[in-house]
A and B are shown apart, each in its own frame.
Chain A
Amino acid sequence: EAEVAQSPRYKITEKSQAVAFWCDPISGHATLYWYRQILGQGPELLVQFQDESVVDDSQLPKDRFSAERLKGVDSTLKIQPAELGDSAMYLCASSLEPGRTEAFFGQGTRLTVV
């Protein structure tokens, strides 16, 4: 069964350091999402791609977060510099079409900033 792949699974980084997460969506899925989930809360959408273009990044803290999907396949989410409040689970999801088909999620990357 096709899956959304994410790496690393866990990451510990020091405050003010840079950190990056990688996501490989299900083959053929044009839409890719990055979500952040703080412990005890539901996932919050950070950025949505359609192919290589960003279609929604309204909740992305652009002063420190960046996301790219250069060839419209895999994607990288970066935080620089990391802050203590960035400790969370970062989830990647993909779907065939945004809004009209179901989203499939990866296992996530658990980030701890110390």
Chain B
Amino acid sequence: DAKTTQPTSMDCAEGRAANLPCNHSTISGNEYVYWYRQIHSQGPQYIIHGLKNNETNEMASLIITEDRKSSTLILPHATLRDTAVYYCIVRVREYGNKLVFGAGTILRVKS
């Protein structure tokens, strides 16, 4: 699976959009971009995934660049409860493939 690069930490004001970047310049054509988050002292939580089209669900939006070398997770109206570590993972969506976590981005939402 391709490697990802994320900033170590970011701050966001409560009520504003949080935009979390992820670089995956070596992504291959069949690799998906996944986002999970981990709130302090809890297990990771699945947020969203995509291949090449932008995706939106009740939690977030995922914007993938046309060349697929980078993506952005958008939390449209960040709240204090969105303070967490956000993991960007690139992986092939095939039977048996593992979910491998990096260090992630610590997002701090401040009032």
**Footprint of B on A, CB under 8 Å?**
4, 33, 35, 41-45, 48, 50, 55-56, 91, 93, 97-100, 102-108, 110
Contacts and interface: CB of A to CB of B under 8 A. Distances in A.
Nearest to B45: A105
Given A100-B93, A102-B49, A41 B98 contact: no
Interface string B73-111: 000000000000101000111111111111110000000
Interface of B: 41-46, 49, 85, 87, 91-104
A40 to B, nearest CB: 8
Contact of A103 (B95, B99, B102, B104): B99
Nearest to A40: B103
A41 B95 contact: no
A55 to B, nearest CB: 7
A99 B94 contact: yes
A54 B56 CA distance: 35
Nearest to B87: A42
A55 B94 CA distance: 14
A99 B96 contact: yes
Given A102-B49, A107-B43, A42 B96 contact: no
B98 A48 contact: yes
Contacts of B87: 42
B43 A108 contact: yes
A105 B44 CA distance: 6
